[in-house]
Structure 1
């Protein structure tokens, strides 16, 4: 088995014996220690021996060498892990890997182990949470030597601060796209309360644009991912006085529930009700009609988050304000 010697983990001592050198030489070669005059032939012999034995330095050894762990612990709230969140996790993994850091994800979905058990076991260099978590937990992490504790949405610093990633511009982009042709907008709110940390600021973005443009307050209705129950919300929008004619949906899943409800009533977007979503999931192009949606640059978000962590670990001054999150609208037939 690779990485073992007689059923145990391969050590630097095994590599030293295989290469016929001292353990110190193995350490100097594998860690690329500067100012060590080691012949190139010896270096090759050490690397060849390590490859034959399947040797990999332990995380503990790396931490001793560098003075910190190479793990960034990502804390996921109890959210559905769907296309966009999965893509963001992969892009965060790639962004941290470029800085020789490992992104390790832990979900709080029941019956996950308590957060404190996780970070005490892993002892990460940094913690990046997608959602706010108790300040007492953040204090305990910092007391244990975890150098960076950040939350994308909300604060882990004990006081209000702008989020690292702002959701308001998404709702604002939706409202501006619809406002030229629609004088009354509705907002399709998700029926999962735990998504409120995302839904509330998106709705606030819609509200601010409506206020700026002199439009009525958006008509907000919760849309379950259930065609029959979504029909009731669509009926209420159409029966309002004046009627709602454009819908900003929390995301593409909610937007497609609105489209299905319209079809159930013998109606169609955008003629009877224009609909715009968020995320550009693969099914958006397959909807009937194809869904207009806001697309965010999750790779830019991931790189921005990784950069904030790296700057903090290296004690550099971090930029003020949210990470730049370029948005564009993929215009299709629904709006």
Structure 2
């Protein structure tokens, strides 16, 4: 098999070897006409020739690799959306994403080893994604390379981070219910001490205040955010304090609320409107009726993190000194069929 070289590309394109090198390696500060660039790229594609990535890495001191450390990739659709966003953004910049699946938890020492595995492969940057929005302890070796946190913050603001606007998402959900005419709106909250728990409660209370609705602690409960616990909590609140609508911390709790409503003889949305959070489509789109919910911006967070990382290692870039404030990305409402105006007495 004959090996195709840069001279073959130059001959087919009718240009010099130097011009081919500048075009294919995207050498900065070189002036090559667009028509010539297109001719060189077409010739390279025809011959199946690409730049020597090893030589390019030695020259630029960049590998073209970006590492992404994500918790429990195999068990959550959230990680998949983050990876897809980062991967598509990386591809658009000619970079390759290297993915490591880490154990869930705040074990900084265990994650330090995972990060070191990426650093040993000379990645240009590391994206560190957690399974759910929380504050973390950053492994010490993460400061050795441009790094961005996804769905996480760390107390000192040493690293750029991107997280969902939990409060804004809750405002969108509860405002949707209030605009439909509901004034007795229950909230099934999570009982973990995490940003989403506090942010979503704050958003709920904000909308009540906007509409002049008194806060009623009997309409608010907290439990683990799973279907069985959502069912028990919804059944308790619906049996004692009959609201016309329920806002749920997540879609899993909403699934439990559907079951409680059915057992109490309530029709959704005629007797009871329900809104979830997370937009886990395997749940939300397949409940009957389909669940109105709020989407978490996992794909968008992956894109933002990759673009931010590029800005930290691009030619001439200097690592910003910080401290950094977390960037909030919006959580949009996804209307489906579980909300209607309250039934008139």
TM-score by length of 1: 0.70
1:81 correspondence with 2:76: yes
Unpaired runs of 5+ residues, structure 2, are 12-16, 105-109, 341-345
Contact in 2 for aligned 1:188/1:220 (Cα 8 Å): yes
SS in 2 for 1:256: helix
Q: Which of the residues 320, 323, 327 maps onto 1:322?
A: 327
Unpaired runs of 5+ residues, structure 1, are none
**2:184 equivalent in structure 1:** 183
Higher relative contact order (CA 8 A, sep 6+): 2
For residues 53 and 290 of structure 1, what CA distance do their matches in structure 2 show?
49
For residues 56 and 296 of structure 2, what CA distance do their matches in structure 1 show?
36
1:121 correspondence with 2:120: yes
Farther off after superposition, 323-332 or 312-321: 312-321
**2:59 equivalent in structure 1:** 65
Contact in 2 for aligned 1:15/1:46 (Cα 8 Å): no
SS in 2 for 1:103: strand
Contact in 1 for aligned 2:150/2:305 (Cα 8 Å): no
SS in 1 for 2:232: helix
**2:142 equivalent in structure 1:** 141
Contact in 1 for aligned 2:70/2:79 (Cα 8 Å): no
For residues 200 and 265 of structure 2, what CA distance do their matches in structure 1 show?
30
**2:343 equivalent in structure 1:** none
Contact in 2 for aligned 1:184/1:216 (Cα 8 Å): no
TM-score by length of 2: 0.68
For residues 162 and 124 of structure 1, what CA distance do their matches in structure 2 show?
19
**1:206 equivalent in structure 2:** 204
SS in 1 for 2:80: helix
Contact in 2 for aligned 1:28/1:36 (Cα 8 Å): no
Q: Aligned-pair RMSD on alpha carbons?
A: 4.5
**1:225 equivalent in structure 2:** 227
**1:297 Cα offset (Å):** 5.6
Contact in 2 for aligned 1:93/1:103 (Cα 8 Å): yes
